[in-house]
Chain A
């Protein structure tokens, strides 16, 4: 397996634009997580899915953020409209069983909102 695949690797957009980040988890993994990493706040969990169903989205900062998982092999994180404070590295991770097992991370998407 190629691991968790995220696209794009880098995204630069203007304030107010819609941004969509994409993730393909490892095949067979039932859990998918979206994290955001900044220098100030470290690594924050935004939302996670189990078997394509959103379980906990309490980490999503605002209504401008939304995430979907239409099938077991694809998830999106959308920001609309984007703001400069959304600039961060966004990671997708997947795991086989959730708690008690390791998480496999993608390479991340570095988002810059100007």
Chain B
């Protein structure tokens, strides 16, 4: 079964709005990572948050982690059409591999 589950499955917003995606997972993690996948392309790493961290920022991205609730959120502020992509959370259980969710498809309309 999937370790990580993103919510919502799809999100449609206007340029300039904020986009929030959530990820829930089932077991204790070493760290949690977020990736972006543009249509027809490979996944690109966005940000990594360790299990002892609660919040992390990178440019317009803000990631939070709540280990007590086994959940994480990715916030993209002031979204742009170029942010249109699928976003995946990946959990690192400390066994050298990442387990991915099925992703959130984000559509940002001009």
Contacts and interface: CB of A to CB of B under 8 A. Distances in A.
Q: Is the interface of A mostly helix, strand, loop or mixed?
A: strand
A112 B27 CA distance: 35
Contacts of A31: 96
B30 A43 contact: no
Nearest to B50: A100
Interface residues on A, range: 20 to 34
B30 A33 contact: no
Interface string A55-98: 11000000000000000000000000000000000010100001
Most B CB within 10 A of own CB, among A31, A43, A55, A93: A43
B97 A45 contact: yes
Interface residues of B, number: 25
B97 A105 contact: no
A15 interface: no
Contacts of B97: 33, 45, 48, 56, 98-99
A92 to B, nearest CB: 9
A39 B98 CA distance: 18
